[in-house]
Chain A
Amino acid sequence: DGGITQSPKYLFRKEGQNVTLSCEQNLNHDAMYWYRQDPGQGLRLIYYSQIVNDFQKGDIAEGYSVSREKKESFPLTVTSAQKNPTAFYLCASSIGNGPYEQYFGPGTRLTVT
């Protein structure tokens, strides 16, 4: 069964702590993405990676970091520098560079208090 998994579904952290969100895909997709959704808003791109060992900043990369050491994995670290980290985080993947559909994971809701 191919797809994208994100874990955990819900995550709680204290302010000032870094936290890493997991994203794994077994679709053999080259490109992976991280988005953030806030209540009543659309999705905003944080980081994306078109190939292993390479990634680019999206529209709201400040306070976040990523790595892409394996094709199937694209973890996102929310650092203490992110001013408003509480949000719903979505990971996606697509076949590769170009106008392709992106397929999304189930999301992780992060709450920082």
Chain B
Amino acid sequence: DQQVKQNSPSLSVQEGRISILNCDYTNSMFDYFLWYKKYPAEGPTFLISISSIKDKNEDGRFTVFLNKSAKHLSLHIVPSQPGDSAVYFCAASGSAGNKLTFGGGTRVLVKP
């Protein structure tokens, strides 16, 4: 049973435009959400996180939105750059512990 799902395996976007990545979760105990970026054969790099007490968190070009009622979060990258081409994972945890549950990832290709 996948508790964290990224339903779009891939996304292609033009340089300078917005990339929107989506993530759905089923476990109502999750209250902390993170996005990671991963290049092939490397470890994931932390991008941005959001606590369930917020509905938006922004850091430079990256904004994460959380809709608790829909159990849905999204990552917006504006403007998209060629260096953003990577696989993006969303992850979730409950405040009771530090285990992360990851989604399957979305591969983003930013075209020049």
Contact = CB atoms under 8 A, between A and B. Distances in A.
Interface of A: 4, 6, 31, 33, 35, 40-45, 48, 50, 58, 88, 90, 92, 94, 96-107, 109
> What is the predominant secondary structure among interface residues of chain A facing chain B?
strand
Nearest to A97: B98
Contacts of A97: 97-98
A90 B46 CA distance: 14
A98 B94 CA distance: 8
A109 B46 contact: no
Interface stretch (B12-20, B57-65, B73-81, B102-110): B102-110
Interface in B21-66: 31-32, 34, 36, 41-46, 49, 51
Contacts of B103: 42
Contact of A104 (B4, B31, B43, B104): B43
A104 B95 contact: no
Contacts of B93: 99
Contact of B46 (A42, A45, A58, A102): A102
